[in-house]
Amino acid sequence: MAKLYFYYASMNAGKSTNLLQADFNYRERGMRTMLFTAAIDTRAAMGAIASRIGLEKQAIAFDAATDLAAIVTTEHANAPVACVLVDEAQFLSEAQVAQLAKLADVDGIPVLAYGLRTDFRGKLFPGSAALLAIADNLVELKSVCECGRKATMNLRVDSAGNAVAEGAQTEIGGDDRYVALCRKHFTERLAAAEG
């Protein structure tokens, strides 16, 4: 039975690397995969899944209007799709998460979704909330805080490294804009920025 998996973590935990390794494993065995990533994230290039360690692969870029299930089922009818892999899954809509669940439940295609759990204020992203609610398997990937404890939060910082407490939920960036921290250090630095 196919399942919907949600691999979540803070920044710098290796989500994209893990996704690209899973894709490689399927393809090495001669199985066809389909990769998706959020169109809003153009840090590497439009439709590119890129890891910090240098791995990169092209994917289908999605936005809120993209019908993921329609794309996959059309391709699956032409040649079997063994697995669907989604990077930046926090940017999925609730409807798109339901589409991914349908691919697993009805079409029998495993779906591996990778993304952030929370934003820079510690609030759930809509896509992540939907995945946490209905995914068959939840897998936390680990990152490390500056203190050595497990990092679970993403602190947005300015160019001087100071915490940012206000702004839009989505602002694309990497190490220049976000720092992965444990909850204790996230809370302390965010409180200092708000105070």
Q: Quote the tokens at residue 75.
A: 């391709």
**Active site annotation includes 88:** yes
Which member of 88, 94, 166, 194 is catalytic?
A: 88
Rounded-to-10 torsion of CA 172, 91, 85, 10: 60
CB 113 within 8 A of CB 89: yes
Number of H helices, E strands in the chain: 5, 12
At 131, phi and psi to the nearest 5?
A: -65, -40
Torsion of CA 131, 134, 137, 143, to 10 degrees: 30
95/92 Cα distance (integer angstroms): 8
Which residues have a catalytic role annotated?
Answer: 88
